[in-house]
């Protein structure tokens, strides 16, 4: 008998839980690779091997008293990961559409592992470290597009926000793991201090690359690939079918997905044109270009909140404010980031997407203003206690980011786009994230070198803009199926700030469990009209799939 649960009245199987947990390992890989470099840049052996500024050296250029990275070298070592992820995010879409979501994620794990190996085998050539991070970034970037998309396509509407938020939770856990492992190896005073850190990432890629084959393929991708039988079986596993009632729910899901895929396939475009349509539009899909730019802005603004300023350079920042052990401070930030992401699982399911993003943007703006103002007006190296206030400000900023902008960004990306162009639009949006990720990681040493803590004012302004942008342009997608989201964006005259009150035709509110209501109506019609409704559904499946045998299996 299948193990079955309920999410707001909707049945889902244990497989759905495993989908959320296992694929979130992709987020751990992302977070682990992001978090490790901040502390590695301070490790003695890493500095001795790869730093380019050396002082107090002997005649042979050895045994120097001081090792430092120049801004260019530090920016390239940190930032080339983001260049790789940018390219990976764009390549991930055609791979995921061509081979399927599972094959794509397995291949991307292999690419990431190769990047780790390249880094581990470096001895004195800093360019090898940078290239290794570039290769790892290709896999990480592709995973960052594929994992939220796979999650959104597999889980039910009532659990989708929680499932995709697990991805962000895993990112924060990966960052925290990196901080803790770096703390544990920092006193080895040998190449093991950083090689162990890089090598442990391969454990995560192995878990995801192999474990993904224990989960079903995306039923929406299977339907699009003209595999209705496999799509039906995938839905049964996801829903945990063990009663006639649950079976009818699967029938409803199957019919809804099939009808939408059929409609989209009737207007299918060639490969190259489908990319162009993301920016030029398509007559069969309303607000297609709007949604492309919406995804790009949301992903870009997540980076412009300034969170990665702390994640990439946190150890260096807190070392500069007089903190004796900046590793500990990084762990504190990592713990705050991880713990507060748990709160997002509740916040984003119960308060939607828009309100948390708006409030989060305003809250983050306030604490960044405090962080920057203290650093500029009362430099912590000259005023005792100011460094502690800056750390508190940073923690409260990270707490908000982890609860709102961190996970919500990925949820919105996973549920905003129509199926026909979802992979490509998700890739474009994610590529925007990585573009700004690179710009921030590469130029931050130069900017902070010129304006110091005034950099916080820049991010404060971006957070304020982000709050207003969400209010005027982002539609509320919480509680809707992916097909209903597409219908909402296609509603003429509906403004983003009005979207929270929109419900699919025939429903009184989003609180009404959509699938359960459909099933209840199904049984009512079945009782009133005999076999008529069932026959109609059979005909819909038959017409949609083009396979007569499918209708007999519904």
Residues 6+ apart with CB under 8 A from 148: 164, 167, 410, 411, 413, 414, 426
pLDDT per position as a tens digit, 315-359: 566 666 555 666 777 788 888 888 888 888 888 888 989 999 999
pLDDT at 404 over 90: yes
Residues 6+ apart with CB under 8 A from 485: 415, 416, 475, 477
More confident residue, 248 or 242: 248
- Cα–Cα dist 336/473, whole Å: 30
What local confidence, expressed as pLDDT, does residue 318 receive? Answer: 63
Mean pLDDT score across all residues of the chain = 81
What local confidence, expressed as pLDDT, does residue 426 receive? Answer: 85
Range 384-404 average pLDDT: 86
Give the gyration radius of the chain's Cα atoms.
25
What local confidence, expressed as pLDDT, does residue 526 receive? Answer: 45
Residue 355 within any structural domain of the chain: yes
pLDDT per position as a tens digit, 150-168: 887 887 766 777 777 788 7
pLDDT per position as a tens digit, 197-230: 999 999 999 999 999 999 999 888 898 888 888 9
What local confidence, expressed as pLDDT, does residue 82 receive? Answer: 83
Nearest to 499 by CA among 469, 477, 521: 477
Residue 541 within any structural domain of the chain: no
- Cα–Cα dist 493/393, whole Å: 41
Residue span of the structural domain in which 368 resides: 7-58+65-215+275-482
Residue 464 within any structural domain of the chain: yes
Residue 186 within any structural domain of the chain: yes
Q: What is the total count of domains within the chain? A: 1
What local confidence, expressed as pLDDT, does residue 350 receive? Answer: 84
pLDDT at 282 over 50: yes
What local confidence, expressed as pLDDT, does residue 546 receive? Answer: 44
Residue 511 within any structural domain of the chain: no
More confident residue, 477 or 157: 477
Query: Which range scores top for mean pLDDT: 43-47, 174-178, 377-381, 468-472?
Result: 468-472
Task: Name the pLDDT band for 126 (thresholds 50, 70, 90).
Answer: very high
Predicted TM-score of the model (pTM)? 0.73
What local confidence, expressed as pLDDT, does residue 10 receive? Answer: 61
| CATH number for the domain that contains residue 446 | 1.20.1250.20
Q: How far is CA 91 from CA 79, 86, 147, in A?
A: 19, 9, 14
Residue 523 within any structural domain of the chain: no
- Cα–Cα dist 96/102, whole Å: 8
Residue 376 within any structural domain of the chain: yes
> Which of 33-47, 99-113, 535-549 is predicted with the least confidence, judged by mean pLDDT?
535-549
Strands (E) across 47-172 are located at 53-55, 66-68
What local confidence, expressed as pLDDT, does residue 246 receive? Answer: 59
Q: What dihedral angle (degrees, nearest 10) is formed by the CA atoms of 482, 483, 487, 489?
A: 30
pLDDT at 545 over 50: no
pLDDT at 290 over 90: yes
Residues 6+ apart with CB under 8 A from 22: 207, 208, 211, 212, 214, 215
Residue 353 within any structural domain of the chain: yes
Q: What is the DSSP string of 237-271?
A: HHHT--SHHHHHHHHHHHHHHHHHHHHHHTT---H
Nearest to 64 by CA among 52, 77, 76: 52
Q: What dihedral angle (degrees, nearest 10) is formed by the CA atoms of 491, 496, 502, 504?
A: 40
């Amino acid at each position: 008998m299948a193990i079955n649960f309920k999410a707001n009245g909707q049945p889902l199987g244990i497989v759905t839980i495993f989908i959320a947990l296992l694929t979130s390992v992709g987020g751990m890989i992302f977070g682990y690779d992001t978090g490790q470099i901040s502390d590695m840049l301070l490790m003695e052996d890493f500095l001795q091997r790869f730093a380019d500024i050396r002082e107090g050296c002997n005649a042979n250029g050895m045994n120097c008293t001081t090792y430092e990275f120049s801004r260019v070298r530090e920016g390239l070592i940190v930032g080339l990961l983001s260049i790789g992820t940018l390219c990976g995010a764009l390549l991930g879409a055609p791979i995921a559409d061509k081979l399927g979501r599972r094959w794509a994620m397995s291949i991307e794990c292999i690419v990431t592992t190769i990047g780790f190996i390249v880094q581990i085998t470096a001895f004195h050539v800093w360019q090898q470290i940078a290239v290794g991070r570039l290769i790892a970034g290709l896999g990480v970037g592709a995973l960052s597009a594929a994992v939220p998309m796979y999650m959104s396509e597999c889980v039910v509407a009532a659990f989708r926000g929680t499932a995709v938020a697990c991805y962000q939770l895993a990112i924060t856990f990966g960052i925290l793991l990196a901080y803790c492992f770096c703390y544990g190896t920092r006193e080895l005073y040998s190449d093991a201090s950083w090689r162990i850190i890089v090598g442990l990432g391969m454990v995560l890629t192995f878990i995801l690359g192999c474990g993904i084959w224990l989960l079903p393929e995306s039923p929406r991708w299977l339907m699009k690939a003209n595999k209705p039988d496999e799509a039906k079986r995938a839905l049964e596993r996801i829903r945990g079918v063990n009663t006639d009632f649950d079976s009818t729910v699967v029938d409803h899901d199957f019919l809804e997905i099939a009808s939408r895929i059929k409609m989209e396939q009737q207007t299918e475009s060639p490969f190259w044109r489908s990319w162009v349509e993301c920016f030029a539009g398509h007559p069969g899909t309303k607000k297609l270009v709007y949604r492309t730019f919406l995804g790009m802005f949301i992903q870009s603004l997540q980076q412009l909140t300034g969170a990665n300023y702390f994640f990439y350079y946190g150890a260096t920042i807190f070392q500069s404010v007089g903190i004796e052990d900046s590793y500990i401070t990084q762990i504190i930030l990592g713990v705050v980031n991880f713990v507060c992401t748990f709160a997002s699982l509740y916040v984003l399911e119960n308060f939607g997407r828009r309100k948390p993003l708006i409030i989060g943007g305003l809250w983050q703006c306030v604490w960044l203003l405090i962080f920057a103002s203290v650093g500029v007006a009362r430099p912590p190296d000259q005023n005792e206690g100011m460094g502690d206030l800056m750390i508190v400000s940073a923690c409260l900023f990270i707490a908000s980011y982890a609860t709102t902008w961190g996970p919500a960004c990925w949820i919105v990306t996973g549920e905003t786009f129509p199926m026909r162009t979802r992979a490509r639009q998700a890739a474009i949006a994610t590529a925007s994230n990585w573009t700004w990720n690179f710009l921030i990681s590469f130029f931050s040493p130069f900017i902070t070198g010129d304006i110091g803590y005034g950099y916080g004012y820049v991010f404060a302004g971006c957070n304020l803009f982000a709050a207003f942008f969400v209010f005027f342009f982002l539609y509320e997608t919480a509680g809707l199926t992916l097909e209903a989201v597409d219908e909402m964006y296609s509603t003429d005259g509906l403004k983003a700030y009005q979207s929270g009150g929109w419900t699919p035709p025939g429903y009184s509110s989003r609180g009404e469990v959509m699938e359960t209501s459909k099933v209840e109506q199904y049984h009512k019609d079945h009782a009133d009209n005999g076999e008529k409704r069932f026959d109609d559904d059979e005909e819909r499946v038959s017409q949609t799939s083009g396979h007569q045998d499918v209708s007999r299996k519904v």
